[in-house]
Amino acid sequence: MTRPLAIEAPVALEFNGIGYAVLMATPTDLGDLAYGFALSERLIDDAGDIAEVDAHRTARGTVLRVTLRPGLAARVADRVRHRVSDSSCGLCGIENLEQALRPLPRIAAPWQGDRAAVFHALERFREHQPLHRTTGAVHGAALCDAEGGIRLVREDVGRHNAFDKLIGAMLRLDTAWEGGFALLSSRCSYELVEKAVLAGCPMLATISAPTSLAVERAAAAGLPLTVLARPDAVLATR
């Protein structure tokens, strides 16, 4: 018996010609990844801040060359990372540790929906994850409407990348949350909470448990969490 393997490859991001980060990612929907990553890093405020994304494929991986609109170069300079070790946490090598936990905005319109919507989304989640069905080795991030209908999904070997791809796709398609929520097939880490807040997500639901810092950051921003999401039970925080 054979089974396809999930592709994991280096994806380097350059902003205005400056090397910024190297991610280990699934090389699909890379334009979405560039947009979502840029928003999560606070390099842009909306889709109009990106002039161009050029994907340059090499034998060793892909280089995403992102051109920002004039006036945003200072943001890149302020946040350029000098990585000193390999890590998926995204913190290693940041010279100014104060940047690790920068203040977050408050969620303007927190989710007011019912947990039945989460159960409904969970029932349909797997059928919207073709890569996971064939490989069993990738994460999914879904945009769900207020009733739990799944509107958009992105997948990646990395949970952070999957969410960035979803956020980036929403930016590029000019798609709003419209009272819905995000459903992620992962634990609830503080980085995912921050991505959700910066994207204006009304509520974040995850399959697995949260970390202490994720709960603290979500509470500070007024982001409702629904964690340990199962077909018949969830744990909610407000």
- Active site (catalytic) residues: 89
Number of Cβ within a 10 Å radius of residue 70: 8
Distance, in Å, from the CA atom of 79 to the CA atom of 84, rounded to the nearest integer, reads 15
Give the up-direction half-sphere exposure of residue 119: CA atoms within 13 A in the CB hemisphere: 8
The pairs formed by 119-124 with CB atoms below 8 angstroms and a separation of 24 or more are 119/148, 119/231, 119/232, 119/234, 120/147, 120/148, 120/149, 121/148, 121/149, 121/150, 121/181, 121/183, 121/205, 122/183, 122/229, 122/230, 122/231, 123/231, 124/148, 124/149, 124/150
Report in angstroms the alpha-carbon separations of 67 from 18, 70, 201: 10, 9, 26
